[in-house]
Structure 1
């Protein structure tokens, strides 16, 4: 990648300078370019939106963020990723290359989140400057793209990076500066502009395959592109391209420890002054002393029952395996001793418990991913001064994974009271309709039975071992032969047309239009439909005693497929005119104006609506859903004034009006000053905005879950969940081994309510940079950025409501705290919190400040060439302020609301070195992401107070360094073979016991490092 604020260069030029130029390289190497090539570049044509040039052709050059033709010098910092950059680093998708950007920080959405319950399942997105996925604008050839139909965290709209047609991408330009003055909404943190090839001659393709050293994460990629015609000689070019990509999903059981087991007893710390080791998270597992003291875990895929009176109001004994003869259907049986059963925590435990390691059996790291697509483009000269193109793209991306066993809820979830033994055909309950505890009745009847099911019209329930005694059987467990699974299939259709050139001898024009449609099919299986569960309990049609004997039809009725068809659309047309209006001492004063109109829409119905009643829905599926559309009309301008040879000034602005009633004007000013040839200074000042997303304005209530650490729960509240208080085994943050499983595995649902009264977020940003070329072949850059968003849309700080609940006080206005079901093992304890509800508001100020560093060196030693590139980003501040209260997050795990608990890394960067011997080249890359303190001020912590760290872990997650290697062998001008070794030293990510996007590691910090050492080999051809 080239970091530049002098504007992007033709790929042909990059190839001349450094055929193996690095990803994340520093500024352009103008001093290394022969004069003839510099002159050729100076004559390049520039137009709105995207560089159309590719290697071997002489097409246009466009600076992302500018509509001025010929403005090959821009005041904003631009990083360029070329196809060669990706190859040289062993990165086989553009999506992965964008995720590796040093400026991509914190709340990026990676593919690994899909396998861990992400709202936007199946998608990937970028987050420049740590400002979340909704503040980075993604363009295709300078034109807007349709949003992914599902929103990140149920609120943030973004463009899915998995929809990029990899093999026709010429390069990606990343504008690391606010760009609302050119593109409108969402460009607060920067712009990612994906630029496709202008022309292709001949036939080219590749085939490659890879796998990790441990034998998982197998991946394959094949592609073929063919083109004909020469734009300069024949006046046209046409090409078609197709590709197939597949990556095998990885299960937790395939990883080494500790990532492959729920048992965390091997993770220990003496931070508190006493050696404390982690809990045994294996359901019904033993403690540090190999004793069964942690209470009865009811959610394993084994059915247990407990007798209760006929009205289901009083329990009459312990739990027991529903089918003792069958033993544990899942897991390892353990028979607690009499002393263990006598512990208060085990008051309801059965004589045989099943120990189930959920992480080892069911944990996922990444989903199965499969992509296939095709593209075609036709480009033609129109007369002597114009050029037109038509491009069409199709891409299908499929992700799938299988998760935990099908869950039933033994206690009615918040908002639902099980109407016991009623059915969809006969809604009259037989017993107390307010009972919140699931139970198997004494008698079963056909679903058509009217009224109560009794001895007169029913038969004794064969699933209830207590039926003969007239007792109901309270039921807990999960289905041992059914599993929850999710599959997404995204189909993206895109067409673009454009014409550009010169009219009236000196007026530059450009017209572009695009249409894009995303069709997303979300299929979820293995989730219990609540009313159907009550149905099969009522009529006894599901065999709980021997689940394996149930027919597929019965399973399908209990867990019907939930298929949701979501879509998004984008239509855009824009036109620009430009002209040199006078000559200044430094060159032509150029002015450009333009207009744009686009339509965007999302239709994402809820996958789990409760409109038909609280039981006409599924357990565990989120109710998120949204729909909406709007039309945006825009007018924009730009003036570029080279006042003198040493000073160029630039000004631009854009006015956007939304059919939903909002409007915004976004100005920008920039300057470049060159006191001497070797030094250039530049700076920008701009204002921007972000329109409220469809999810923020129109969505159904959305719930995300945040892990509640024991250290953040008041001691007096925790004491209620001590497993044996009489023996001084008191539950506390320092002694988690003495806490019941109910409170140890504690997540609070943060339910967000949309609001149509939200205003656009506003931003102010400025940059300042210096580029120094001290000697030929060496360039240094330092770029400072400062972004401030006001009126940022946020969920109010929930900590006051949570603290009030713990203290037994009044809940603050604007919040609703919904308690969870009572802990069946601690029925007298105050229930933990299930959900906190609040409405989105414009109340936050967010500030992001930092420095980018770049070094690019190129040296020719005769027998070989050495290219070295160092790129790093330092975050100085990422903070939020609400009602005058400032919270800061750099070098911590927060902000949870903004970064989804992925952390704000102070440093991120890489160093790439290539040694090119002609037919053989060797590249090494070192990647670095800094560690962070386990605290987050939006979770009630003080800054860097270690507030989220459990007692068995230190205060900090370590930094993470990996190294990659790539070797390429040029057989001849037509064939090249290459071998990649990723994560050469087999370093796994550092342990993080708090981050919830993955188990025991940070998926954003760790990335693909969790796979360990990987190998990939392939061949490229070109005829």
Structure 2
């Protein structure tokens, strides 16, 4: 694998060198801010010098503001071959860390079906997304069950004129959530004629098909006719991509082919065990009820005799095939244990002589879900008078994201409940203490009474269980396996409705007004199929109506009863009205003193009920399905101002502030001051200082308890505890699987008394423009967020529990079942419950580099644009003074799903335009990172080869570079043909077996690179 990685880097290096030769002299942001050619069928908006720039209520030049602003035009995105606005935003250099990509939908994301960016690595909830300068409704589901955000998939791509990215805090203008920056999606002001496109694409491997059709038609000219109205519609589909469609190791959970220094990874086997050719063979038949084990269960059913249904008691013998004649089913292969493996009583005391080797990733893994979107937009702009202009916009967008999962599980923890703390599979009898029972087939089966198992079922009222091979001996059969012909399926269907009205114009010769009203609603329907309903499982076990011996013979009606469809409807709403005024107070020698002020009132609401509540008891719910839910509503009243003073020639000072008052009891004042100084024409200095805030999300303040599972590592347990199992931290992988292959649930409790997070940030930058066509800039940013909302650290509760100390106040520990091999030892932790608290300080510090240039050589125009962001520091300081650093590592591991914080992210686009031809090449660079995380391994682990870094891979994940090519040819005045070649060198992402958002690669760093080389062909038409 190392050789392949080096070859990939050499190919990318050659490409970069070629690009460097073409664009020598450019080393560092932003998409070109030069005037763009107006494509046929459109009319450009006002000149840049007169637009209202994101982050301001005054009319300014986008290139001459105190705050750094990047502009992504629709034309520049076309040149790069970027298909959707959400993809463009995922690629901006300041997006890093805890971003949410579409691929996460198929990998257990709480906010399935959505996409969001994380500017500065400060999470999705610290980035504000606007449509035409107005707020948008949150996605009904929360990222990691805590962070509310705006779904980028709700952006109507084909009417987008440009996207402005304010790389600075802007709470003084917009209020909450603008700590890390603002993304403002600006739609076309007017459109004349008819325009559209048809395109299709697929990968070189013949999969990942995607299609797009759009049509826009408009009439009227604002300048000549006093009005413009246009309508637009589109349809887009991207087919699912599966792990089996990509080469090793992305297509398998078998890591034995990944080796370093003679050490190879484990070959993951069934039921929690593994076969590792480089060590001891098969180890670890799992009989525990840990939630982590369910992912490794083979589909084939295995049973073991027992006279008890309690997980505290060992089976009376080894597991065996329930149906020996059928053998391994559903694509699994048999593996016969050796005599030495069977003799390993520590690891394989109850292992069968033959196990079924199933690779769930190869069989069922999904890289990216199926996405289908369509929608329409209508925009009408009218000159009410010669000076006053009004516009109305209406949007509808539907997005469906769906994927299939694994065969249905019948043995696992239900997600941590609302009323009940924990549930492991119960037997068919009445439940006892949570976690005390394993699923067992009873000796007798009896008819249900009132839809429930009878309290007593024996020879007097029942018959011997045909599913239990030990029934004649009077023994129960403990069972493991999955339902082979019942596959989990998930679908999120969001429908977004938005209407906005704005009117603006002069009040006097020197003063203007603007009034805006917006309403936006997102209806979300979540459909889950193939998930076993616990009580129904217990029922079919009790009455024998499900055939476990020949599971493929069960009727569809039985399967439908066992796994009834789960349909949950959620809604998010936003309604806002705003009025503002701006004008000139008086003139100074250097220019006019401008003042803007205004006010806003808005209503935000979310109603997202739990898809898996347990108010009716721990068995009246589903296995595995997320129990998260939240509901809330709040009204915000705000007032704001902005003052711009040209103190002397070339020097301007800008000051602004905003006060927000929430009816939920919080309030905040956000000031900001900035300057711009131009001592000479070629040089501009700029800087800002501001304070901002993030209001606690509905998910943080009002959510139902929810749980995420975390693998236990050596650092979880003190040495004294491990010694009772005959191992140490250094030999943790050799500990019994009760410890080494286990997990615990981190249950987060909502906290209605949380305070807003408060931030202080400042920027300092320099812009150098030696000629009209060349612009270079460097900007430093420093953001410090205090009172950051986090779960109370789980470590102190774990340390106290395993050391026999009192559990700290505010925590609750729920024990798991004891180890069958060490029943007298304190059981491991099943769940830690902790509230959210305002407890930490988070700092993000870095540099943004930018260079753009445009040159004409006769009929040829060459444009080069580079953007890059370097993270100097991203760290957290806790209340006790301890500090964790994440830059350049896979941390913050818990916050980012292990997608990490690469220090570098950037892209470089070079474009040649010659007569009817256009050719562009874009190299995107995502830095590597170290497989360490201080939030898991503790301070000082950063940059080391720590506990998270397996011995069979390098401690450092490689840098990742992809190169895209796009070319277009203007057939005539009406038609343009274009071809995109994505990932030209077919370089797949670096291997990373630690990140858990994808299989053996990082879904944020890898992005769309996992598709490999792909082609997209289309035609644009304008009349």
Residue 575 of structure 2 is matched in structure 1 by 571
Gaps of at least 5 residues in structure 1 are: 1-17, 38-52, 423-427
In structure 2, distance between residues paired with 1:29 and 1:310: 76
Once the two structures are TM-superposed, the CA of residue 795 in structure 1 deviates from its matched residue by 1.3
Alignment match of 1:294 (pick from 258, 278, 283): 283
Q: Mean Cα displacement is larger for which, 218-227 or 501-510?
A: 501-510
- Residue 979 (1) aligns with residue 979 (2): yes
Q: Is the 8 A contact 1:888 1:937 kept in 2?
A: yes
Q: Deviations over 1:43-78 (max 9, x none)?
A: xxxxxxxxxx95276796211111113565421100
Change (3 A) 1:461 1:531: same
Residue 769 of structure 2 is matched in structure 1 by 773
Question: SS state of the match for residue 1009, structure 2?
Answer: helix
Residue 6 of structure 2 is matched in structure 1 by none
Alignment match of 1:141 (pick from 106, 122, 132): 132
- Residue 463 (1) aligns with residue 460 (2): no
Residue 47 of structure 1 is matched in structure 2 by none
Q: Is the 8 A contact 2:45 2:189 kept in 1?
A: no
Residue 179 of structure 1 is matched in structure 2 by 170
Q: Is the 8 A contact 1:264 1:278 kept in 2?
A: yes
Q: Mean Cα displacement is larger for which, 494-503 or 434-443?
A: 434-443
- Residue 102 (1) aligns with residue 93 (2): yes
Q: Is the 8 A contact 2:412 2:623 kept in 1?
A: no
Gaps of at least 5 residues in structure 2 are: 1-22, 288-296, 416-420
Residue 359 of structure 1 is matched in structure 2 by 361
In structure 2, distance between residues paired with 1:1008 and 1:624: 29
- Residue 920 (1) aligns with residue 917 (2): yes
Question: SS state of the match for residue 774, structure 1?
Answer: strand
Q: Is the 8 A contact 2:43 2:192 kept in 1?
A: no
Once the two structures are TM-superposed, the CA of residue 165 in structure 1 deviates from its matched residue by 0.3
Alignment match of 2:52 (pick from 46, 62, 66): 62
Residue 945 of structure 1 is matched in structure 2 by 944
Q: TM-score, normalised by structure 1?
A: 0.91
Once the two structures are TM-superposed, the CA of residue 819 in structure 1 deviates from its matched residue by 3.6
Residue 908 of structure 1 is matched in structure 2 by 905
Residue 332 of structure 1 is matched in structure 2 by 333
In structure 2, distance between residues paired with 1:735 and 1:692: 39
Once the two structures are TM-superposed, the CA of residue 866 in structure 1 deviates from its matched residue by 1.0
In structure 1, distance between residues paired with 2:200 and 2:884: 46
Change (3 A) 1:175 1:432: closer
- Residue 647 (1) aligns with residue 671 (2): no
Q: Mean Cα displacement is larger for which, 915-924 or 116-125?
A: 915-924
In structure 2, distance between residues paired with 1:70 and 1:850: 26
In structure 1, distance between residues paired with 2:672 and 2:1006: 37
Change (3 A) 1:920 1:678: same
In structure 2, distance between residues paired with 1:982 and 1:788: 38
Residue 792 of structure 1 is matched in structure 2 by 788
In structure 2, distance between residues paired with 1:184 and 1:607: 32
Question: SS state of the match for residue 122, structure 2?
Answer: coil
- Residue 872 (1) aligns with residue 872 (2): no
Q: Deviations over 1:232-254 (max 9, x none)?
A: 11111111100011111111111
Change (3 A) 1:639 1:249: same
Q: Is the 8 A contact 2:862 2:910 kept in 1?
A: yes
Residue 384 of structure 1 is matched in structure 2 by 386
Question: SS state of the match for residue 524, structure 2?
Answer: strand
Once the two structures are TM-superposed, the CA of residue 528 in structure 1 deviates from its matched residue by 1.4
Once the two structures are TM-superposed, the CA of residue 290 in structure 1 deviates from its matched residue by 9.0
Residue 121 of structure 1 is matched in structure 2 by 112
Change (3 A) 1:451 1:806: closer
Q: Deviations over 1:540-562 (max 9, x none)?
A: 11111111111111111111111
Change (3 A) 1:181 1:151: same
Residue 1017 of structure 2 is matched in structure 1 by 1017
Residue 307 of structure 1 is matched in structure 2 by 305
Once the two structures are TM-superposed, the CA of residue 741 in structure 1 deviates from its matched residue by 5.5
In structure 1, distance between residues paired with 2:580 and 2:569: 37
Once the two structures are TM-superposed, the CA of residue 368 in structure 1 deviates from its matched residue by 0.5
Change (3 A) 1:773 1:26: farther
Residue 4 of structure 2 is matched in structure 1 by none
Q: Is the 8 A contact 2:712 2:743 kept in 1?
A: yes
Q: Is the 8 A contact 1:348 1:825 kept in 2?
A: no
Question: SS state of the match for residue 193, structure 1?
Answer: strand
Once the two structures are TM-superposed, the CA of residue 988 in structure 1 deviates from its matched residue by 1.0
Alignment match of 1:587 (pick from 578, 591, 609): 591
- Residue 90 (1) aligns with residue 87 (2): no
Change (3 A) 1:452 1:23: farther
Q: Deviations over 1:763-787 (max 9, x none)?
A: 1111111101123421110111111
Once the two structures are TM-superposed, the CA of residue 834 in structure 1 deviates from its matched residue by 3.0
Change (3 A) 1:750 1:95: same
In structure 1, distance between residues paired with 2:218 and 2:31: 33
Q: Deviations over 1:596-630 (max 9, x none)?
A: 00000000111111111111111112211100000
Q: Mean Cα displacement is larger for which, 952-961 or 82-91?
A: 952-961
Q: Deviations over 1:695-750 (max 9, x none)?
A: 100001121233444576566766777xxx8xxxx7976684x5665545444322
Q: Is the 8 A contact 1:962 1:984 kept in 2?
A: yes
In structure 2, distance between residues paired with 1:659 and 1:194: 29
In structure 2, distance between residues paired with 1:840 and 1:604: 20
In structure 1, distance between residues paired with 2:433 and 2:804: 29
Once the two structures are TM-superposed, the CA of residue 804 in structure 1 deviates from its matched residue by 4.0
Q: Is the 8 A contact 1:799 1:939 kept in 2?
A: no
In structure 2, distance between residues paired with 1:673 and 1:830: 67
Residue 931 of structure 1 is matched in structure 2 by 928
Q: Is the 8 A contact 1:23 1:85 kept in 2?
A: no
Residue 442 of structure 2 is matched in structure 1 by 441
Q: Mean Cα displacement is larger for which, 686-695 or 854-863?
A: 854-863
Q: Is the 8 A contact 1:591 1:638 kept in 2?
A: yes
Alignment match of 2:702 (pick from 689, 698, 702): 698
In structure 2, distance between residues paired with 1:506 and 1:676: 30
- Residue 281 (1) aligns with residue 296 (2): no
In structure 2, distance between residues paired with 1:243 and 1:501: 33
Once the two structures are TM-superposed, the CA of residue 823 in structure 1 deviates from its matched residue by 5.8
Once the two structures are TM-superposed, the CA of residue 982 in structure 1 deviates from its matched residue by 0.9
Change (3 A) 1:216 1:735: farther
Query: Please, what is the CA RMSD of the aligned residues?
Result: 2.6
**Aligned pairs (5 A) from 1:275-674:** 275-283=262-270, 286-288=275-277, 292-296=281-285, 299-309=297-307, 315-330=315-330, 331-344=332-345, 345-409=347-411, 415-416=422-423, 420-422=427-429, 435-448=436-449, 450-674=454-678
Residue 959 of structure 2 is matched in structure 1 by 959
Q: Mean Cα displacement is larger for which, 117-126 or 444-453?
A: 444-453
Q: Is the 8 A contact 1:22 1:867 kept in 2?
A: no
In structure 1, distance between residues paired with 2:893 and 2:1011: 26
Q: Is the 8 A contact 2:370 2:402 kept in 1?
A: yes
Residue 1006 of structure 1 is matched in structure 2 by 1006
Change (3 A) 1:81 1:821: farther
In structure 2, distance between residues paired with 1:340 and 1:388: 78
In structure 2, distance between residues paired with 1:910 and 1:181: 30
Once the two structures are TM-superposed, the CA of residue 115 in structure 1 deviates from its matched residue by 0.5
Q: Is the 8 A contact 1:167 1:241 kept in 2?
A: yes
Q: Mean Cα displacement is larger for which, 307-316 or 636-645?
A: 307-316
Change (3 A) 1:433 1:506: closer
In structure 1, distance between residues paired with 2:860 and 2:710: 53
In structure 2, distance between residues paired with 1:704 and 1:991: 25
Q: Mean Cα displacement is larger for which, 687-696 or 902-911?
A: 902-911
Residue 291 of structure 2 is matched in structure 1 by none
Once the two structures are TM-superposed, the CA of residue 462 in structure 1 deviates from its matched residue by 0.8
Change (3 A) 1:936 1:962: same
Q: Mean Cα displacement is larger for which, 527-536 or 161-170?
A: 527-536
In structure 2, distance between residues paired with 1:26 and 1:94: 14
Change (3 A) 1:822 1:541: farther
In structure 2, distance between residues paired with 1:243 and 1:781: 37
In structure 1, distance between residues paired with 2:750 and 2:314: 41
